[in-house]
Amino acid sequence: MIGSMNHVGIAVPDIETAIAFYRDVLGAVDITEPRDLPPQGVTYAFVNLPSGQVELITPFGEDSPINKFLERNPKGGQHHVCFEVEDIHEASLLMAERGMRVLNEPRIGAHGTLVVFLHPGDAGGVLIELMESHKEAH
Ligand code: CO
């Protein structure tokens, strides 16, 4: 059911420092400006690579789910992996049928399409994001 791997989410304590690392040390040449996504409590930037993206995320606001992650991993770390699906509502139902805990109703993610997260406890310890693919019209 899953299609392309879209991105890997990396939680970081400071997004400008992380951007500088990907740009100046790893040599990435295409990195977006940081943007706030208040409904998800994150500020994010994309490192665009030929094969996909790294999504740098840092907390936005005190209720951010990333705060807890950074308490456990002060230097940051790999936070989630994102796979594309054709239809997020269908995928969400199917995952629930297969015994996965789906952590949220489909909501708009950083890419402007609907996303859900799956509980890492049901997924080999990995927080999985499912993201509806951009439709052809885009
Ligand atoms: Co993501």
Q: What per-residue confidence (pLDDT) applies to 98?
A: 97
- Bridge-based pairing state of the strands 52-59 and 5-11: parallel
Q: Measured between alpha carbons, how far is 18 from 28 in angstroms, rounded to an integer? A: 12
Q: Is 64 helix (H, G, I), strand (E, B) or coil?
A: coil
Residue 13 has which token pair? 């304590």
Ligand 1 centroid to Cα of residue 66, in Å, is 12
Whole-number Å distance, alpha carbon 8 to ligand 1 midpoint, is 7
Strands 42-49 and 35-37, bridge-based pairing: antiparallel
8-state DSSP, 38 = G
Residue with tokens 């969400």: 92
Ligand 1 center to residue 101 CA distance, Å?
18
Find the 79 Cα to ligand 1 centroid distance in Å.
9
Domain residue spans of the chain? 5-132
Q: What is the predicted pLDDT for the residue at 39? A: 84
- pLDDT at position 45: 98
Pick out the chain residues at pLDDT < 50: 138
CATH entry, 5-132, from 3.40.718.10, 3.10.180.10, 3.40.50.2300, 3.20.10.10: 3.10.180.10
Q: How far is CA 88 from CA 49, 63, 80, 114, in A?
A: 25, 25, 17, 7
Task: Give the catalytic positions in this structure.
Answer: 129
Look at residue 84 in the predicted model and tell me its pLDDT.
97
Per-residue pLDDT, 138: 46
